[in-house]
């Protein structure tokens, strides 16, 4: 229901999510703070799940059984307002750029425009679409075809061509006005007859276009339609926010269908497989529709006086109801009796679904995805977004390696990355999770929300390591090739180095008397230079990060890249600049280096480096005469997020989806399998003991 909040201030207040429990937690462990918000979850016929989030292209899909989450393939980078399935199980997306349907691993456009929702009847004979600002339209499924979209494009192109020709004819007729005699009259007549032919053709095209497009205003355009479903008599029921329910059979006029309903504020509606249409209201609980009496009645034993966010059904007669402040209600006997989850009494559940195994899944607006356990009362958090995004990688001289996964947390390997075990830490998993290993083999992990922590026993115990840093968390961690530990706090208030005494100290800028500066991250070049960058400030070091000078551009930051000759490129808001090796002045250039650009480097042995390519892929590089020469390229189709090299020389690349390893100097790359499912006796350790699992988990490549 969050997708409607922008329309009315009262709705923004009505659907804001409350705190996640009286103690601020969701039972089963801490949830990543940067996990995408969930708008909808939906079960597919094969037992897999879909989760929809508000960011562009924010559709995630699991494997059958609700595990193995990944970004749905080839989803356009558009805002998705609503997700639904037709009776055949095909996925439909109502988006800011039209109505889309899944066809294998691609998406075909069915309707142009901006759509808020799409609904289907149980038999697949009717479709109801809601267009932003236009109301609802009742269509036949055969109207939603890619051929129709292609024909629309052809007709529109033909119409524009004819209109262009008509405009040219009008100009010619104006020019002929000064021509006297019979020739002039004939010329104008000939042009006019052609102009008339074009007008007739344009009218015919407009008529055909009207028949293929959503012409004019739809129904209920002056009502805020929030949901819809079709009853057993073939009547569409449309719920509105503040105006009750309206009903109509296809082709008929919409009339009020709110008899017996305890509220005119309808949040959600769904037709059960057994035919009953349920409506969830704002503050008045759950209601059932009687199509014979054309009236609503409150559902006995269901959520009363609740804000009902969504209703879902399972294959075995399950009916699950998500509420804003009363948790989840479930019935296993087609709504005759109800049970309520008691573990999340204060949690706003945004969406619910029943997976292929009959497990109830709950999606939270702020809190991620949770699965109801076999005891029927406790919930376990399940990662669904960026599950295997490897945000950071680090190997120490002693052989221990660490991988930070945005959706799962920290993993450790003691055998050069062949086997990985989960490590409990005080830091929640998330896309901001960072890890480094110092020269003594101590591991440090941190994030913007949970601060910086250090372990001297390979992750068995942890102590906070924030002395000298501002309060809050950290945005960046790195180790210079000289072994200096660097950190950037979450507020970006400077670059800090860890001293031998364990204190973090702010690094000054050469020639400036303790002036403030702000940076986000640090990058290292193979020739001993380092770059720290933020929105306004860019710092350069030529001695492996021991001293720094500030560069001034007077323009906000857009991007940073390096080429194989060691040139530093920075794209600002209005201009692009380059600093070449052995030069002190920046030069203005037209463009960034493009496909030849690298985003960052990692040392890979004597005079060898790994380079992450800005456009995707990785390269093993060798330094010759001050120039980085590519030895091998790999992973060309993947975005490399992090890189590391183990003690035995194995190369590791952390991707947006998964971890890759090469043990033959970059000739081939293998996938490191990361198992998400935990053993049954592995329990989240929660706030006190750290984010992780008491039983170790093994993965192998």
User: Is 584 among the domain residues?
Assistant: yes
Q: What is the CA radius of gyration of the chain?
A: 31
Domain boundary among 327, 357, 385: 385
The span from the CA of 57 to the CA of 60, in Å, is 9
Count CB atoms within 10 A of the CB of residue 73.
12
Model confidence at 232, in pLDDT bands (50, 70, 90)?
Answer: very high
Which run of H or E residues covers position 198? helix 181-212
Asked whether 498 and 452 are in contact (CB, 8 A), the reply is no
pLDDT at residue 239 in the model: 97
The span from the CA of 567 to the CA of 239, in Å, is 60
- pLDDT tens-digit series, residues 422-478: 999 999 888 999 999 999 999 999 999 999 999 999 999 999 999 999 998 999 999
Question: Which domain covers residue 78, as residue numbers?
Answer: 73-212
Instruction: Looking at the structure, tell me whether residues 309 and 274 fall in a common domain.
Output: no
Helix, strand or coil, per DSSP, at residue 224: coil
pLDDT at residue 460 in the model: 92
Name the more confident of 33 and 238: 238
Name the more confident of 685 and 496: 496
Closest CA to 309 of 227, 243, 384, 230: 227
Which run of H or E residues covers position 11? helix 9-14
Instruction: Looking at the structure, tell me whether residues 374 and 264 fall in a common domain.
Output: no
Lowest mean pLDDT among 12-26, 97-111, 186-200, 385-399: 12-26
The span from the CA of 385 to the CA of 53, in Å, is 9
Instruction: Looking at the structure, tell me whether residues 636 and 597 fall in a common domain.
Output: yes
Tokens of 459: 């992750």
List, edge to edge, every strand of the sheet that includes 443-447: 434-437, 443-447, 451-455, 463-464
- Which of the 8 DSSP states describes residue 45? T
Asked whether 519 and 509 are in contact (CB, 8 A), the reply is no
pLDDT at residue 596 in the model: 86
pLDDT at residue 344 in the model: 55
Which run of H or E residues covers position 599? strand 598-603
Lowest mean pLDDT among 87-91, 129-133, 211-215, 386-390: 211-215
Asked if pLDDT for residue 212 goes beyond 90, the answer is no
User: Is 640 among the domain residues?
Assistant: yes
Instruction: Looking at the structure, tell me whether residues 549 and 418 fall in a common domain.
Output: yes
Instruction: Looking at the structure, tell me whether residues 622 and 692 fall in a common domain.
Output: yes
- pLDDT tens-digit series, residues 12-52: 222 233 223 322 233 334 556 677 889 999 999 888 999 99
The span from the CA of 233 to the CA of 246, in Å, is 15
Model confidence at 377, in pLDDT bands (50, 70, 90)?
Answer: confident
Name the more confident of 255 and 380: 255
pLDDT at residue 9 in the model: 25
Model confidence at 142, in pLDDT bands (50, 70, 90)?
Answer: confident
CATH code of residue 268: 2.40.10
The residue-averaged pLDDT of 646-650 equals: 93
Question: CA separation (Å) from 55 to 27, 38, 110, 615?
Answer: 26, 10, 22, 22
The span from the CA of 544 to the CA of 370, in Å, is 45
The CB-side HSE value for 188 (13 A sphere, CA atoms) comes to 12
**Partners of 85 in beta bridges:** 91
Instruction: Looking at the structure, tell me whether residues 361 and 427 fall in a common domain.
Output: no
The residue-averaged pLDDT of 153-159 equals: 76
Model confidence at 8, in pLDDT bands (50, 70, 90)?
Answer: very low
Count CB atoms within 10 A of the CB of residue 491.
15
Lowest mean pLDDT among 19-33, 41-55, 178-192, 393-407: 19-33
Asked whether 288 and 299 are in contact (CB, 8 A), the reply is yes
User: Is 56 among the domain residues?
Assistant: no
Closest CA to 250 of 123, 361, 392: 123
User: Is 45 among the domain residues?
Assistant: no
Asked if pLDDT for residue 198 goes beyond 60, the answer is yes
pLDDT at residue 320 in the model: 92
Model confidence at 100, in pLDDT bands (50, 70, 90)?
Answer: very high
Asked if pLDDT for residue 167 goes beyond 50, the answer is yes
Instruction: Looking at the structure, tell me whether residues 115 and 245 fall in a common domain.
Output: no
DSSP string, 94-112: EETTEEEEEETTEEEEEE-
Domain boundary among 243, 262, 295: 295
- pLDDT tens-digit series, residues 314-371: 888 899 999 888 888 999 899 999 988 755 545 678 899 988 788 889 998 877 888 8
CATH code of residue 652: 2.130.10.10
User: Is 416 among the domain residues?
Assistant: yes
Domain boundary among 212, 246, 279: 212
The residue-averaged pLDDT of 506-526 equals: 93
Tokens of 250: 């296809």
Instruction: Looking at the structure, tell me whether residues 444 and 357 fall in a common domain.
Output: no
Closest CA to 404 of 384, 429, 425: 429
User: Is 64 among the domain residues?
Assistant: no
- pLDDT tens-digit series, residues 463-514: 999 999 999 899 999 999 889 999 999 999 999 999 999 999 999 999 888 8
Instruction: Looking at the structure, tell me whether residues 369 and 314 fall in a common domain.
Output: yes
| Average pLDDT taken over every residue of the chain | 85
Instruction: Looking at the structure, tell me whether residues 321 and 279 fall in a common domain.
Output: no
pLDDT at residue 16 in the model: 31
Tokens of 85: 């399935």
Q: Report residue 154: phi and psi, to 5°.
A: -65, -45
pLDDT at residue 182 in the model: 61
Lowest mean pLDDT among 44-48, 183-187, 258-262, 293-297: 183-187
- pLDDT tens-digit series, residues 548-584: 999 999 999 999 999 999 999 999 999 999 999 999 8
The span from the CA of 184 to the CA of 552, in Å, is 70
Name the more confident of 358 and 76: 76
Instruction: Looking at the structure, tell me whether residues 678 and 649 fall in a common domain.
Output: yes
**Partners of 378 in beta bridges:** none
pLDDT at residue 146 in the model: 62
Lowest mean pLDDT among 85-99, 130-144, 582-596: 130-144
- Which of the 8 DSSP states describes residue 162? H
User: Is 635 among the domain residues?
Assistant: yes
Closest CA to 267 of 236, 306, 310, 237: 310
Name the more confident of 585 and 31: 585
**Residues in CB range of 509: below 8 A, 6 or more apart:** 515, 517, 539, 548, 549, 550
The span from the CA of 666 to the CA of 281, in Å, is 58
User: Is 607 among the domain residues?
Assistant: yes
Asked whether 195 and 170 are in contact (CB, 8 A), the reply is yes
Inter-axis angle of helices 146-176 and 181-212, nearest 10 = 160
Asked if pLDDT for residue 693 goes beyond 60, the answer is no
Q: Report residue 573: phi and psi, to 5°.
A: -65, -35
- Looking at the 3D structure of the chain, how many domains does it have? 4
Q: Report residue 419: phi and psi, to 5°.
A: -130, 140
**Residues in CB range of 189: below 8 A, 6 or more apart:** none
Asked whether 309 and 280 are in contact (CB, 8 A), the reply is yes
pLDDT at residue 378 in the model: 79
The span from the CA of 398 to the CA of 406, in Å, is 25
List, edge to edge, every strand of the sheet that includes 328-331: 308-313, 319-323, 328-331, 339-340
pLDDT at residue 684 in the model: 39
Cα 390 versus chain centre, distance: 16
Asked whether 151 and 212 are in contact (CB, 8 A), the reply is yes
Instruction: Looking at the structure, tell me whether residues 397 and 315 fall in a common domain.
Output: no
Asked whether 130 and 117 are in contact (CB, 8 A), the reply is yes
Asked whether 329 and 302 are in contact (CB, 8 A), the reply is yes
Residue 472 region, left (φ>0) first, then alpha (ψ -120 to 50), else beta? left
């Amino acid at each position: 229901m969050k997708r409607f909040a922008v329309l009315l201030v009262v709705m923004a207040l009505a659907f804001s999510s409350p705190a996640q429990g009286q103690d601020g937690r969701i039972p089963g462990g801490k949830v990543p703070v940067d996990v995408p918000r969930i708008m909808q979850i939906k079960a597919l016929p094969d037992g897999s799940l879909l989760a929809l989030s508000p960011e562009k292209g924010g559709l995630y899909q699991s494997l059958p059984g609700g595990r193995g989450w990944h970004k749905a393939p080839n989803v356009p980078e558009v805002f998705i307002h609503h997700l639904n399935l037709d009776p055949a199980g095909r996925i439909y997306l109502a988006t800011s750029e039209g109505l889309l349907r899944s066809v294998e691993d691609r998406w075909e456009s069915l309707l142009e425009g901006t759509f808020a929702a799409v609904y289907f009847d149980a038999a697949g004979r009717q479709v109801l679409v809601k267009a932003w600002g236009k109301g609802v339209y009742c269509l036949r499924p055969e109207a939603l075809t890619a051929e129709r979209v292609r024909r629309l494009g052809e007709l529109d192109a033909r119409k524009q061509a004819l209109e262009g020709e008509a405009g040219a004819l009008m100009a010619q007729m104006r020019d002929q006005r000064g021509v006297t005699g019979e020739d002039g009259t004939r010329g104008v007549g000939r042009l006019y007859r052609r102009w008339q032919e074009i007008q007739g053709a344009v009218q015919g095209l407009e008529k055909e276009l009207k028949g293929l497009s959503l012409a004019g205003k739809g129904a209920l355009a002056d009502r805020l339609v929030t949901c819809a479903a079709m009853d057993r008599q073939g009547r569409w029921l449309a719920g509105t926010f503040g105006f009750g329910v309206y009903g109509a059979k296809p082709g008929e006029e919409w009339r009020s269908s709110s008899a017996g309903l305890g509220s005119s504020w309808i949040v959600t509606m769904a037709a059960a497989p057994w035919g009953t249409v349920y409506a969830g209201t704002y503050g008045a609980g759950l209601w059932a529709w009687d199509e014979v009496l054309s009236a609503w009645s409150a559902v006995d034993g269901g959520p009363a006086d609740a804000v009902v966010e969504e209703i879902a059904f399972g294959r075995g007669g399950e009916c699950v109801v998500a509420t804003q402040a009363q948790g989840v209600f479930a019935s296993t006997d087609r709504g005759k009796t109800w049970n309520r989850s008691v573990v999340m009494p204060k949690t706003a559940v945004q969406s619910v679904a029943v997976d292929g195994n009959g497990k109830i899944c709950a999606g939270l607006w702020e809190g991620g995805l949770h699965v109801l356990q076999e005891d029927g009362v406790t919930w376990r958090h399940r990662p669904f977004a960026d599950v295997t995004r490897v945000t950071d990688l680090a190997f120490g001289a002693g052989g221990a390696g660490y991988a930070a996964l945005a959706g799962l947390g920290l993993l450790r390997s003691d055998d050069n990355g062949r086997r990985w075990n989960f490590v409990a830490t005080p830091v929640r998993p998330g896309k901001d999770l960072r890890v480094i290993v110092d020269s003594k083999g101590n591991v440090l992990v941190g994030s913007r929300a949970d601060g910086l922590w250090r372990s001297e026993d390979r992750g068995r115990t942890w102590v906070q390591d924030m002395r000298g840093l501002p309060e809050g968390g950290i945005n960046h961690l790195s180790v210079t090739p000289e072994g200096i530990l660097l950190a950037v706090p979450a507020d970006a208030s400077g670059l800090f180095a860890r001293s031998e005494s364990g204190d973090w100290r702010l690094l000054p800028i050469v020639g400036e008397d303790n002036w403030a500066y702000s940076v986000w991250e640090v990058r290292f070049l193979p020739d001993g230079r380092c770059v720290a960058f933020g929105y306004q400030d860019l710092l350069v070091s030529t001695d492996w990060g021991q001293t720094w000078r500030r560069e001034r551009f007077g323009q906000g930051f857009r991007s940073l890249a390096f080429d194989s000759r060691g040139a530093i490129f920075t794209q600002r808001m209005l201009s692009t600049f380059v600093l070449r090796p052995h030069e002190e002045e920046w030069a203005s250039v037209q463009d960034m280096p493009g496909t030849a650009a690298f985003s960052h480097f990692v040392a890979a042995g004597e005079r060898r480096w790994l380079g992450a390519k800005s456009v995707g892929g990785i390269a093993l590089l060798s330094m010759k005469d001050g120039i980085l020469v590519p030895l091998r390229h790999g992973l060309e189709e993947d975005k490399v997020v992090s890189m590391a090299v183990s003690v035995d020389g194995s190369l590791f690349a952390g991707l947006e989806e998964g971890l890759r390893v090469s043990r033959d100097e970059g000739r081939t790359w293998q996938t490191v399998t990361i198992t998400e499912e935990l053993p049954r006796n592995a329990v989240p350790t929660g706030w006190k003991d750290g984010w992780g699992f008491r039983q170790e988990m093994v993965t192998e490549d």
